Every structure is written in structure tokens, then in C-alpha cells.
Structure 1
Amino acid sequence: MILYNNPRIADHLPHRIKSFVRREGRITNAQRRAFHQLWERFGIEISLSPIEPAKLFGRHASLILEIGFGDGESLAATCATNPEMDFLGIEVYRPGVGHLLLRAAELELRNLKVICFDAVEILERHLPESCLDRVQIFFPDPWPKPRHHKRRLIQPAFASLLARKLKAAGVLHIATDCESYARAASKILVAIPELKNMAADSGYISAPPYRPPTKFEQRAKGSGHPVWEILFLKPI
């Protein structure tokens, strides 16, 4: 079952402005087979009950959420090099989800679960409070035109929601190659009292070693675009 086709969920979702447009693109036969053959192993079926991370992974471990993982290569690499941590990946782009499922099977990952659904709905309705050690949002859609800024993922209400879901000492890490997005996101996050900017000058940080470069990032840097890294902590 594809999560966003679940009528039990759809009937309970209020209308709101979406932060994404579902650009499906071409899904390959291999990616389509991955949904049929690997979804039960790596995918999460969303019901009206909350997600229980310890039951989901069969252990208590640090829990990392990545929102919008693209083709999933960097997330798979992070999972492979951090087997002591558990990872949730959320993405609405089905070819990317299919690609990650294939990669996860190839790497025999045991610390990854995948959700193909709107991240805002998952956070609002399905993840418990104070459950995340880190939230990663790498190269979200910048929606550069001013009339589209309302569609940007990082909005005041969503930032407050992320702060609630983070554990004490948890961190929110955002990377973008859009300067206006970086400025706007930083301004929003600074206004959240539960969060503290970890940059020494209250600006941006260098890319931490745990974040492998994404395909999108490599293209951006190849075009001469700098990358802004934002890191906020939820103090104890």
C-alpha cells in the first residue's frame, strides 16, 4: 500500500498549503518492484495509531529523522556508517523512495525505515513528543519566488512542531544552497524559544562530518553555489 493512498488517513486530514508538489517523474521497473518486494521490510504503514520507535526498530537507540531525502543515497550512506543509530526517512517522491529501498536492501540496512507521506502530517499526528535526537532537512525546495514563500517547509508553526518532537539536547540541521531560504529559516528558528543557534556567530556552521554530500549539493557546488548549514540545539 502506498501511504498517501490510505483512505483511513485521507479522511482525517485537514486542507492546508503543501510545502511540496508531487513531481513523480519516471519510476523505473526496478523501483516499482522495490515497492512490491521491499516495502514490507523497510516501509512504514501509517494507521491512525502513533508510531512507536522502539517497537518499530526493536531497540532503544538514537533516532534521526530526515525529511525529503531525494534519491536516498546520502541517507543510505549515513545509515551504513552509523549502525548504532536508527533512521526514519520521509519522502513523497516515489522514484526516490524506490531508489532508497533498493539501496537499503543492497547494503542490508537494519536501522532504516521509510515513509512515503507528507512530513507535516507525520509529525503532527504520528510521532510522539520528544522522540527525535536529530532532524535533518537537506536542500528542501527553496520556492524562490516571493509569492511562493508560503509553501516553504520551514514556517513558524512547523519550526515549533519540530522543537516539540526533538528530545532535550536534540538538534535540527538544515542545509540549503538558497541564501534567501537560509536567511528566512534562521530568522524563524531564532524566534523559537526552545531552540538555540549553534553557530559561534549566530550565523552558519561548516558541514559536519556526519553529513555526506547529496547529488543535489554536488550539482549546486559544481555551478558555483555556496551551501549554508544551519544547526539549532534544543537545550537541556
Structure 2
Amino acid sequence: MKIKNNLKKIKILKKEIYLKEIQSFVIRRKKLSSFNISIIRNFWKKFCIEFSYIKKKYIFENCSYPIILDIGFGNGRKLFFDVVKNSKANFLGVEVYINGILYCIKKCEKHNIKNLKIIYFDALKVLKYMLLNNSIFKIQIFFPDPWKKKKHNKRRLINLMFLSLVRLKLIKNGILHIMTDCKLYYKYILKNIKIFNCFKKFFFIENKHKNSNVKFNINTKYENIAKNKKKNIYNIIYKKI
């Protein structure tokens, strides 16, 4: 009886810890059109994975392909482009904004895409509770919210806890790719990465506009905004050794 009660207390405690974790995002809910509701009803289960512990072999049709985890893919246009361009890679997109998810679902259904799955949940919890260790080839995070105000810094996604999870989930020689236009966040990221001796600088550019030899086929929404404002773009790529 005592053991059962203790187990129950542990479960409750875990649930409380899980709910109290600081979120790196704020959900802005929008009313969905009847068309988008029909998309959810008809195709959500086909392309979206519910929050639960998952195994690599059950996610994709071709489980031998490497997995690229795209965290916070926004409106979904760059992610869809990458998915189409890299047919021999499996993409796992994590996003909390429904419009970008719906865009990807519609495009994937129209083009019969089979190498993309989406998780509608907080990225930190996905890394912590869903993914197997040593299962991801690449983790890419393009223009995460910098939470510039000092009192909001604690909400930043890329911190020591996040990087410790990245270290566990990436395979050997796996890639961590981050882009930001916020200098303070860029310095904060580098400071935290340097604490881990398992990450080796693989490719590094401090100002993308001065490096014409680096080409990306399609920009994210926030990359275009940064370019229009003539802001520096910090492009950081590390390899797990």
C-alpha cells in the first residue's frame, strides 16, 4: 500500500514538473476557417504525430533515411522546400503555430510527400520525452525568438538544458544548425555551446551578407525581414564529435 502511494506521489510530482517548465513560446490562437477544419479532420493523423514516446522505425515509411529535426518552422515554406529538395532524408517538424502546420499538411497532401511528419507541441518537451537518444542526424533552428528583454531571457529555447538534450539526441557527427539576427542571443548561444566539449565548430559565419559564397535556396520569413532591415545574420553550425 505504501509503495503504491509513493508511486502515485512520484507520478503527480512528474506531472507538476512537466507543467511548470518555462515555455519558450506564446500561443496566439486564431479562428480557423471551415476549409482548415476540414484539412485537420481529413489529414491531421496522416502527417502529425501525437505527443507520446516514439520509435524511429514507426515514424517514416523509409526508416533508413537520416532524420532532420526542424524546430519552430514558422509558416512552413522553407521546411516544405527542404523536404521536397531532400527526398532521401526524413524531416520531423516541431511547431506550435497552427497556420504553418496547416500549410505543410496541404502541400504534402497535394504533392504526395512521405518524408515529413509534424509534432504540434513544445520543442523542449519533444526532445525530452519523445525522441530516442542518438536518433537525429541534424537539428535546425532558424530564427528562434530571442526574448531580448533581460527579464525574458529565461524563456530562450537554446540554453544549457536544451543543448544537453541536443547532445543526447544527435547521432555521432550529427549537425546542430542555428540562425539568428540577434547579436545578444548569438553571443549567449556561443557561450553555452562552449561549455560542452562534444560540439565542434563545423561551419561559422558572423555576417551572412558579407559571405556571398554561402547560398540558401529559400529564406525563412524572419531571414527576409532581417535582410530587408540590413541586419547581420549569425549562422552557426556545429558537429557532435
Aligned residue for 1:37, secondary structure, equals: helix
CA change 1:64–1:209 in 2 (3 A) is farther
Larger Rg: 2
- Give the CA deviation at 1:200: 6.2
Pick one of 98, 102, 105 that aligns with 1:98: 102
For 1:111, the equivalent position in structure 2 comes to 115
Aligned residue for 2:20, secondary structure, equals: coil
For 1:51, the equivalent position in structure 2 comes to 54
Pick one of 23, 26, 29 that aligns with 1:21: 26
CA change 1:36–1:174 in 2 (3 A) is same
- Give the CA deviation at 1:103: 1.9
- Give the CA deviation at 1:30: 3.2
Distance 2:33 2:189 in 1: 35
- Give the CA deviation at 1:199: 3.7
Q: In percent, how many aligned pairs have the same letter?
A: 33
Distance 2:94 2:214 in 1: 21
Contiguous gaps of at least 5 residues in structure 1: 1-9
For 2:11, the equivalent position in structure 1 comes to none
- Give the CA deviation at 1:215: 1.8
Greater Cα offset, 174-183 or 84-93: 174-183
In structure 2, what residue type is equivalent to 1:57? Answer: F
Distance 2:200 2:234 in 1: 17
- Give the CA deviation at 1:113: 0.1
For 1:131, the equivalent position in structure 2 comes to 135
In structure 2, what residue type is equivalent to 1:36? Answer: R
CA change 1:28–1:183 in 2 (3 A) is farther
CA change 1:176–1:25 in 2 (3 A) is farther
Higher helix share: 2
- 2:124 equivalent to 1:120: yes
- How many residue pairs align between the two structures? 223
Greater Cα offset, 135-144 or 209-218: 209-218
In structure 2, what residue type is equivalent to 1:44? Answer: I
Aligned residue for 1:70, secondary structure, equals: coil
Confirm or deny: 8 A CA contact 1:65 1:87 kept in the other structure: yes
Distance 1:43 1:14 in 2: 22
Cα deviations by residue, 1:200-236 (Å, 9 ceiling, x for unpaired):
69x677696566311221122112222111111101x
- 2:183 equivalent to 1:150: no
CA change 1:193–1:43 in 2 (3 A) is same
Confirm or deny: 8 A CA contact 2:201 2:239 kept in the other structure: yes
The 5 Å alignment of 1:192-231 reads: 192-199=196-203, 209=215, 212-231=218-237
In structure 1, what residue type is equivalent to 2:145? Answer: D
| TM-score w.r.t. length of structure 2 | 0.85
| TM-score w.r.t. length of structure 1 | 0.87
Distance 2:221 2:35 in 1: 20
Cα deviations by residue, 1:29-53 (Å, 9 ceiling, x for unpaired):
4333221111111011223xx2112
For 2:39, the equivalent position in structure 1 comes to 34
Distance 1:169 1:204 in 2: 25
Confirm or deny: 8 A CA contact 2:207 2:233 kept in the other structure: no
Indicate the RMSD between aligned Cα atoms, in angstroms: 2.2
